[in-house]
Amino acid sequence: MVYRNTKTGYGLIARLLHWLMAIAIFGLFGLGYWMRTLTYYSPYYKTAPELHQSIGLTLFALLVFRFIWKLANPTPHHAELTPIESHGSSLLHWGFYALLLAIMVVGYFISTLDGRAIHYFSLFDIPSIHTEKGLEKLAGKLHWMLAYLLIALAALHAGAALWHHFIKRDRVLVSMTKGPIK
């Protein structure tokens, strides 16, 4: 079992981070979309946002770890990629990191600008570092727009991976599912 990335594929740690984060991102998007339909009288009115925030904070920790892991590991080389595909792939991945960070920061401020802390799975509190009442709605709109942009980029990413796998028939998708060639 190869834990670290090699020049021929992603190691187990990178693959686990990729797929765990993908599941969390789509799950958070679905949960957030559903939360917008809740009324004050819904039994989930308070628990759904707390779950969304806690999973979002967990995703933030995974993002930080994944960023460090990416810096400490080689990026697999795919000789079959054209220079434009390689550059586009790199831009898309770094764009994901920046966009995820922006969504998480804005999400944090949605919850804490009024001075309240975030309850992390009811284990401990993440305090507010800045209060400015009235900006929660603006932060909420920005969070919503960035989340839709993230899902659009994820669809582009998935489409490109499937195109490589089924049309070009190269190892790009396989390197993220099965790992390095031994």
Helix (H, G, I), strand (E, B) or coil at 22: helix
Q: Cβ-count burial of 171 within 10 angstroms (0-12 exposed, 13-18 middle, 19+ buried)?
A: buried
Share of the chain above pLDDT 90, in %: 88
Contact 180, 10 (CB under 8 A): yes
Rounded CA-CA distance 100/67 in Å is 11
Share of the chain above pLDDT 70, in %: 99
Q: Which tokens go with 89?
A: 């792939």
Q: How confident is the model at residue 60 (pLDDT cuts 50, 70, 90)?
A: very high
Class of domain 12-177: mainly alpha
Each residue of 66-84: pLDDT tens digit? 999 999 999 898 888 999 9
pTM over 0.85: yes
Per-residue model confidence (pLDDT) at position 104: 98
Rounded CA-CA distance 157/26 in Å is 13
Average pLDDT over residues 16-24: 97
Query: What are the sequence ranges of the domains in the chain?
Result: 12-177
